[in-house]
Structures are given as structure tokens and as C-alpha cells.
Structure 1
């Protein structure tokens, strides 16, 4: 069974009219646990269950962990999520509501992830937040839905963290024979591991994450993301935290949906009428969502003196 929903596809007049373009939104922020993550993670968890897994183990202080917890509850399988010490109380509360066992370990996702590996038993399945072909296959379903709706965009705009969404969208574009549709891959300054990889020609590890868009906070993007940039037309864009936060506020006012700064990064390209959009008339923005940020937190980040 599918653990995700088909999500609405709608044209945004608020985004389309100012630039005299047609800006379409794939509203995966409306998924049951608040983000696109359930597409790939739900698929992966169902596959692991069919292979005999008795418990799911994951490492994520955010949306991936929530998706694993949701999938485990729906499938009747216990879930352990290892989160770093930086995880917000709100995120831990949401994980608890889904019935997951929450283990706090380490100061970063990398440390939490390493510890999660030590918990794996013979009948456990590890569910990675972004680097797994099962996830990419599931995420690709959003492009299948766009194709079934009869909309072929001139370009797709999405946010990049670890690269799972990018890999899934490229897989979806290619299996729908849309190899000519470019992807604009957006990150925030201070969390741009994909941009660094494109510039270097290989994946590189950032020394630290210096962005409020913590859902984009993978120090190293997955290898498949860089492969996608070679196999498909992908352009890397980097925006400021301030632009991402402003886009969250504007999107809430325009569409009554609250998203995280990680999602705001992609939306900011449309709101700020980024020059990269100028050559396209019909643009699809993946509204990837995010469930752990509150509007008060977004406004507090924007008021910080070091917000760039």
C-alpha cells in the first residue's frame, strides 16, 4: 500500500502574475507527516517489511525521522530514531506523537547516524534519510502525478539537502521521457554541499552547516546527486537565509501553508524572480514542506543580527 497521498498541483497566481509566468506548485507540504519524505521513505519501509524487517532504525532530527515514525506506525512496526542534541523540542514531540522511540546522541547528524548503525540487529532495517535508491524511486512518484495531470513544465525548481529529492525528481523526469526539462537545484548559503560538489567535480564535505535551513544541512551531498547533475540538465542556485525566510512568510500569507526555510529556499527563487527563471514560461516548484519549524521560530531567525 502507498503511505503517501497524491498531492494537489495548482497554479499560483501570487507567483505567476508579477513575473508574467505560469508558476505551478506541487504541494507535498500537505503529506500526512508534513513533507515529501513520506513518498520515498514509505516505499522503502514497505519494501523492508516485505523482506522481513521487524524494526526500523533511522537517524534524523527532522522530516525523515517523522516519515519513518509515521510509516512504522501505519505498518505496525516499531521505530527507533536517533537524533542529534541540536534537535528541537518540537521535532522530538512530533516523533513521540508518532510512537517512535527517540534516542539523543551526538552534536551533529553525522554522529547520530554513526550511533544508529550500532543499534542494528539481524531483523532491523536501517532507513537512510536521503541516500537510498528505494527513496529516490518513491520520490519520483510526484513527477508521475504531474505527468498524469497533463502538465509538462519548462523547468522544475526544488531544494537540495542531502540530494534525495533531486535524485527522485530526476528519476521521475527521465522515466516520463522528460529528459529535456531542466532542474534548478536550490540551496542556502552555508548549507550548499551540492553546489560545492558541482564546482569541485566530486562530493566534498562542508566544514560546518551555517544556515537556518537545517533540513538542508547535509555536510556532504550523496554521490547520486552529482551523478544526476551529469546525466540530466541541472543548474545549482544558492540563495540567502533571509530570502528563504521571507519566502516562508509570503507563502504562508498567499497560500495559508507554513513550510520550513529549506522549502522556502526553492520558493524564494520564484518570489524574488531569480534571473535563472527568466527563460521559462511554465515553471514547477516542488513545495517539499517541513513539519518542525513554527512561524515564531521563522520570525526569530529573521530577526537575528547575523541572518544573511
Structure 2
């Protein structure tokens, strides 16, 4: 039995009431650890156990670490998660709740990731938060579920941090014969390494992350994500933190589910489907989730 759940897929009445356009929500926020991350990370962890791993070491500022810790607990494998100093106390608590060891190190993900990798021994498996083909293979299962439900989208809207979700969705589209379905990749200002890389024609590294959407805070996207921008129809959109937070709060009212600003970025575009997505009749929005923000924090960000 896989560590992830088959998540609900339904048409959003709040987003779809425009000229016959349908916006479908793939509710990855309903996964047990709170985000889509468990699909790929769970798949990878199971594979690494089959290969003989007796400990997982992960680097993450939040959701990937929570997913790795959850997978380790379910599989009976100890987990160490190295997080940067910017990781919220809530995220640290959620990782520790899954019985993982939390090590705080460095001012950014890069420093935490370097320490995590230096700790790996021959008996360990390193669980990267976004840059591992096993992750993409696992994430692709969400598109398999959409295909099995008989819904073929005209476009898929998703958030981009390091690019793991993007890679997984493109892999899922390809293995279901949907090579023609474009991906609308959304980031926030200050965490937009993917958009800046596309504009520059090469992968660039941000000097830092200034967005509150810290789960999108990879200063440099995965090489495969950048490659897919050239091989698959991908459109990049950047929204403000304020837009992302407003979408999160609206989503609570409309669908009674709390997600973090990293997810709110793509929801902001989905809510404006009559604008930037007007050309598509069936839009699939990946509600990637995230558990590092609370209702109170969202309201504080919104100035309420």
C-alpha cells in the first residue's frame, strides 16, 4: 500500500462560473503530511528501503522534511532532517512530531542541504526535497489519477519552487499521452528563480529569497525543470505575496481547506482564470497544500 492517498478531484464552483470554463482541483493538501510531497518522497523512501537503506537524511525548510519524517515513521526507518534557520518553529514541530531528528543549520536551504549531504553514509539514503527522478516518478501518480477519472485538462496550473512538482506533472502528462497539455508554472516575486531562468535562457541562482512563500524558496531550480521548459509547453507567471495570501484566505472560505502561500500562488492564477487562463476550457489546478502556515499567520500577512 503506498504511503500517499488517492486525493479528491472535483470541479470548483467558486472558480468555474465563467462562460462554461471548468476549473478542476486536485486536492493534494489532503495528503496525511499535508502536501503533495509524500507522493514522490514516499515512493523514493520505499525504493531506498528496498535497496537496503537503514536511515533517511533529508534537507528541507518544511513540507519535504515533514513528508520524509512521515514516510520514515510509517516504514520504521529513522530520519534526520536538516533545516535552515529560516524554518518556522511550526515546521520544526511538525517534523519532530513524526519522531524525526531535527537539526537546524545555516541561513538558507543551500547550507542545510550541504550539511545533510555531508552526513550521508553507505547505510543511508539522501532524500532531496525536489531534485530526484524517483520523486518525479512518484509525483506523476497524481496525473495518473486525473486520467483514470476521465478528466483531460487543457492546461495544468501549479506552483514552482525547486521544480519537483513541475517535473512530476510533466512526467505524468507524458506517460498518459498528454504531451500537448501545457503547464502554467506560478511563483511569487522574490522566489522566482524559474521565471528568471527562463527569461535569461539559463539557470540562474537568486542571491536570496525575499518572498513569504518560503516553500518556493529554492534559489536555483532543478536542471530537469529548466529542461522541461524547453521540451514541453510551459508558461511562467509570477504573482505577488499579497495575491498568494488573498487566494489562500479565499480558498478557506470557498473550500474549507488551509493552504500556505506557496500553494496560494497557483490558486491566485486559478481564481483569475477568466484572465490569464481564459483560452482554456478545462483547467486543472494542483492544490499542492503545505502545512507551515496557519489561519492566524495568513490573516497577519494580509493585515487583518
TM-score, normalised relative to structure 1: 0.97
Matches within 5 A, 1:45-194: 45-194=45-194
Asked if the contact 2:28/2:286 (under 8 Å) is kept, the reply is yes
| Deviation sequence 1:113-172 (CA, Å, 0-9, x none) | 011112111201100000000000000000000000000011100000000000000000
Q: Distance in 1 between matches of 2:63 and 2:40?
A: 12
CA distance in 2, matches of 1:19, 1:119: 55
Q: Is the 8 A contact 2:158 2:266 kept in 1?
A: yes
Return the alpha-carbon distance in structure 2 between the equivalents of residues 217 and 18 of structure 1: 33
C-alpha distance in 1, partners of 2:147/2:214? 31
Aligned mates of 1:119, 1:301 — CA distance in 2: 36
Distance 1:82 1:183 in 2: 31
SS in 2 for 1:3: coil
User: Which residue is equivalent to 2:243?
Assistant: 243
The whole-number CA distance in structure 2 between the counterparts of 1:301 and 1:246 is 9
Q: Partner residue of 1:254?
A: 254
Is residue 40 from structure 1 mapped to residue 47 from structure 2 by the alignment? no
In the alignment, does 2:219 pair up with 1:219? yes
- For 2:250 and 2:51, locate their aligned partners in 1 and report how far apart those are by CA, in whole Å: 44
CA contact (8 A) 2:18 2:274 kept: no
Quote how far apart the aligned CAs of 1:96 are: 1.1
- Aligned length, in residue pairs: 304
- Superposed CA RMSD in Å reads 1.1
Q: Deviations over 1:70-122 (max 9, x none)?
A: 00000000000001111111111111110000011111111000111121112
Q: Is the 8 A contact 1:214 1:262 kept in 2?
A: yes
Distance of 1:85 and 1:214 partners within structure 2 = 12
Mind listing any 5+ residue stretches in structure 2 that lack a counterpart? none
Does the residue aligned with 2:17 lie in a helix, a strand or coil? helix
In 2, distance between residues paired with 1:150 and 1:19? 22
Deviation at 1:273, TM superposition (A): 3.5
Contact 1:82/1:112 (<8 A) preserved: yes
2:287 is aligned to 287
CA distance in 2, matches of 1:274, 1:112: 41
**Which deviates more from structure 2 when the two are superposed, residues 227-236 or residues 17-26?**
17-26
Cα distance between partner residues in 2 of 1:269 and 1:19? 17
Q: Is the 8 A contact 1:19 1:273 kept in 2?
A: no
* 5+ long unaligned stretches in structure 1: none
SS of the residue 2:235 aligns to: strand
Q: Is the 8 A contact 1:156 1:181 kept in 2?
A: yes
TM (norm. structure 2) is 0.98
SS of the counterpart of 1:284? strand
Alpha-carbon separation, structure 1, partners of 2:233 and 2:295: 35
Which contiguous aligned blocks of 4+ residues in structure 1 show a shift greater than 2 angstroms?
272-276
